[in-house]
């Protein structure tokens, strides 16, 4: 038969264990694209080029225009995909980010590397200057990963840098990824991939795995008194 002191010790131990932080379970959420745009460059240099934005069609493209066998102008199209991340708690620890890109059609898809890049702003930020600004950002910002994309769904793991970036901006409630052909402006190259629009039957998706940490346990102010009481009881019943 357990003594009163032993029973008290067991109750106290169980209470303390119940108050300790527990390892939180991972949660996975799939987000459909909120906005998808094509950012088009047409010209022979950035000083005189024309810049366009399209919501349909949305393409990655590298097309050379020749005059007498000499390349004189290029169409170079890049794309951006934006997601609403407001459903993810702001204090979440993001552990993985996978982009699912849907390609409707294209040419030379399996021969061309596509770069997936960081875009720190919403696709529409900047108003009329967004076409130029996003085109530049997609080309100049850090690259998460490189892969080719084929017809249908393509799952691209964006790596730890993307997870860190998403976690850092959870309070902004958006996350944007840029896509561009790795080697652009090659005069003998012709490549294009048409991506799904934001409201297409098969939407682009972002699969995010995250953990919400448990609240930190703070010792109550009465804890010292309780331990003193336990000390007195222990002396009485041993």
What would the DSSP string read from start to end of 54-105? ESSSEEEEEEEEEETTEEEEEEEEEEEEEEE-TTS-TT-EEEEEEEEEEEEE
Is residue 15 one of the residues assigned to a domain? Answer: no
Rounded (10°) CA dihedral 57, 204, 148, 189:
10
How many C-beta atoms surround the C-beta of residue 206 within 10 A? 24
CB atoms within 10 A of CB 191: 20
What is the model's pLDDT at position 62? 82
Domain boundaries, position 57: 26-211
Is it the case that residue 24 has pLDDT exceeding 60? yes
Query: So what's the pLDDT on residue 233?
Result: 45
Give the C-alpha separation, 25 to 28, whole Å. Answer: 10
**Number of structural domains found in the chain:** 1
Across the range 38-60, mean pLDDT stands at 82
Question: Does the pLDDT of residue 13 top 60, yes or no?
Answer: no
Lowest-confidence segment of 142-151, 200-209, 214-223 by average pLDDT: 214-223
Is 160 domain-assigned?
Answer: yes
Q: Indicate whether 3 belongs to any domain.
A: no
Tens digit of pLDDT for each residue in 160-202?
999 999 999 999 999 999 999 988 876 556 788 999 998 899 9
Which is more confidently placed, 221 or 20?
Answer: 221
Judge whether 188 lies within some domain: yes
Whether residue 206 contacts residue 119, with contact meaning beta carbons closer than 8 Å, is answered with no
In a domain, 13, yes or no: no
What span, in angstroms and rounded, lies between the C-alpha atoms of 32 and 237? 63
96 HSE (CA, 13 A, CB side): 12
Q: Does residue 143 fall inside a structural domain?
A: yes
Average pLDDT on 27-47 reads: 88
Q: Would you say residue 113 lies in a domain? A: yes
> Which of the pair, 5 or 87, is modelled with greater confidence?
87
In a domain, 14, yes or no: no
pTM comes to 0.78
């Amino acid at each position: 038969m357990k003594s009163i002191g032993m029973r008290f010790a067991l109750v106290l131990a169980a209470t303390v264990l119940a108050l300790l932080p527990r390892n939180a379970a991972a949660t996975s959420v799939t987000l459909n694209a909120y906005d998808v745009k094509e950012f088009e460059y047409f010209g022979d240099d950035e000083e005189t080029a024309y810049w366009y934005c399209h919501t349909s069609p949305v393409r990655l493209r590298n097309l050379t225009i020749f005059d007498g066998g000499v390349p004189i102008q290029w169409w170079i199209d890049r794309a951006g995909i934006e997601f609403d991340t407001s459903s993810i708690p702001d204090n979440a620890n993001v552990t993985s980010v996978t982009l699912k890109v849907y390609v409707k059609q294209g040419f030379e898809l399996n021969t061309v590397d596509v770069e997936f890049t960081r875009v720190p702003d919403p696709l529409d930020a900047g108003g009329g200057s967004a076409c130029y600004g996003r085109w530049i950002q997609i080309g100049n910002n850090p690259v998460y990963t490189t892969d080719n994309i084929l017809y249908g769904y393509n799952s691209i793991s964006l790596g730890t840098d993307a997870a860190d970036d998403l976690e850092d901006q959870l309070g902004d409630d958006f996350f944007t990824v840029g896509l561009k052909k790795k080697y652009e402006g090659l005069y003998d190259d012709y490549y294009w991939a048409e991506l799904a629009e934001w409201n297409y039957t098969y939407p682009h998706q972002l699969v995010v795995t995250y953990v919400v940490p448990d609240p930190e346990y703070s010792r109550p102010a009465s804890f010292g008194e309780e331990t003193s009481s336990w000390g007195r009881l222990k002396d009485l019943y041993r």
